[in-house]
Amino acid sequence: MIPQRLFRIVAVAEAITWALLLSGMFLKYVTETTELGVRIGGMLHGVVFIAYCLTTLVVGIDQKWGAKRVLLGLAAAVPPFFTVWFDLAAERRGWFGASWRLRDAAPANLLERVTGWLVTKPLQGLAAAAVAVVVLTGVALIAGPPVG
């Protein structure tokens, strides 16, 4: 899977889970009918939010995005649906290469070595990403829900 396709899938999934969470919040706070939408939508959104952030880091490192571009990609996960906007803007600006750069290029530092391993061994990379999402979700659950 090329970087742009992976990024698009995760960016759209993040936007969809935002919609689920917002729908759940409407049911909980406006119609006062159920909390179930917030519980389910909130958990799904949290998991996909973490996956989007990890995907942004991996794609950003592989595609040699600067820190500002990576931070913009990460910040796009905060307002609802901005991940789709960022994905489309990145495509228009040519920020995605046709393939994973680190499959062929020599890594220049530790972050590139780790990212190179993830993209050259896709099954192990997927397993490592899944473990990272589970661990980070667990940390977030222990830390508790956002206050507000």
Contact 43, 84 (CB under 8 A): no
Work out the number of other CB atoms within 10 angstroms of the CB of residue 41.
22
Distance CA 96, CA 111 (A): 18
Q: What is the CA radius of gyration of the chain?
A: 17
Structure tokens at 101: 């750069």
Query: 93-145: per-residue pLDDT in tens?
Result: 999 999 999 999 999 999 999 999 999 998 999 999 999 999 998 998 888 87
Query: 44-95: per-residue pLDDT in tens?
Result: 999 999 999 999 999 999 999 999 999 999 999 999 999 999 999 999 999 9
Dihedral angle over CA of 82, 64, 97, 124, nearest 10: -90
| pLDDT > 80? residue 147 | no
Structure tokens at 72: 């913009």
Work out the number of other CB atoms within 10 angstroms of the CB of residue 119.
20
Distance CA 96, CA 88 (A): 11
